[in-house]
């Protein structure tokens, strides 16, 4: 009806097996956590943002706020860190990086490939990188 969106706040998140946050939780094997966590915390935010971008662009002063976490601090091997911080990083490359993490976790080789041992942390690191990429692509936000 209004044809624009002035602000979008993305705060989607899922975190498995952390009793300090949620009390007693049933155990979900690590290899099964990666897909759900990355789909929710990274892709969920990406999809909502992409869907809302036309409405944000129509606003005179749009704002995009992505709620991340200190758990998303940059960790892992030098290769992983450089991939997340590459100046030329774009959404397709970042999404490919997130898919690589999921595949490596599901294959049980994520540690050997230099990833940190946290699905939540990597998903939030991806979200932080996504925020940086979008800030570069969408100057008005």
| Active-site residue set | 120
**Element (DSSP H or E) covering residue 8:** strand 7-10
Closest CA to 71 of 41, 28, 93: 41
Phi-psi category of 76—alpha, beta or left, where left has phi over 0 and alpha has psi -120 to 50? left
Whole-number Å distance between alpha carbons of 116 and 73: 11
**Both tokens of residue 4?**
């624009």
Strand partners, 7: 63
Whole-number Å distance between alpha carbons of 134 and 34: 23
């Amino acid at each position: 009806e209004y044809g624009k969106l002035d602000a979008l706040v993305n705060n989607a998140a899922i975190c498995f097996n952390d009793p300090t946050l949620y009390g007693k939780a049933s155990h979900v094997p690590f290899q099964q956590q990666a897909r759900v966590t990355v789909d929710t915390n990274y892709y969920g935010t990406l999809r909502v943002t992409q869907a809302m971008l036309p409405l944000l662009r129509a606003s005179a002063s749009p704002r995009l706020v992505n709620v991340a976490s200190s758990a998303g601090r940059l960790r892992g091997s030098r290769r992983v860190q450089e991939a997340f911080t590459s100046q030329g990083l774009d959404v397709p490359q970042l999404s490919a990086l997130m898919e690589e993490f999921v595949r490596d976790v599901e294959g049980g080789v994520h540690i050997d490939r230099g990833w940190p041992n946290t699905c939540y942390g990597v998903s939030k690191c991806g979200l932080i990188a996504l925020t940086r990429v979008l800030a570069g692509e969408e100057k008005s936000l």
